Amino acid sequence: MVELVLRRTEADWAWVLRDDPAAATWRTLREAVTLARKDAPASPSDGLHRSMPERPADAALLHEHLGLAPADAAALMGLEEPAVRAHLKAAHRWRADRGPAGPAGAA
């Protein structure tokens, strides 16, 4: 998968340089993982993307599972650090509202 992402990034290099290279590569990697995930068995980090919106899930994956500081996650995602912190709070609220049994108040 990494080879595929690098080849795609290389093929689109002129476009990548006009954008933020790290963020463009992150988007390409996220797209590749999304496609691959459809055929792969579930993993704990998959649960993030299956259960919450994309940006909060990305922020939580990078910060909580991979240990990146919010500033580093922001640089990789092509966002400002306050936006990543907001996505992390959204991810926390999303999980708190749903809990292990699903949406709050669900039977």
Residues sharing a CB contact under 8 Å with residue 38, sequence separation 6 or more, in sequence order: none
The residue that leads in pLDDT, 11 or 84, is 84
The residue that leads in pLDDT, 81 or 26, is 81
pLDDT for res 2: 64
pLDDT for res 32: 74
pLDDT for res 45: 54
pLDDT for res 8: 76
For the chain, give the mean pLDDT.
Answer: 79
Tens of pLDDT, residues 51-102: 888 899 989 988 998 899 999 999 888 889 999 999 999 999 998 887 654 4
pLDDT for res 103: 47
Q: pLDDT-derived band of residue 11, with 50, 70 and 90 as boundaries? A: confident
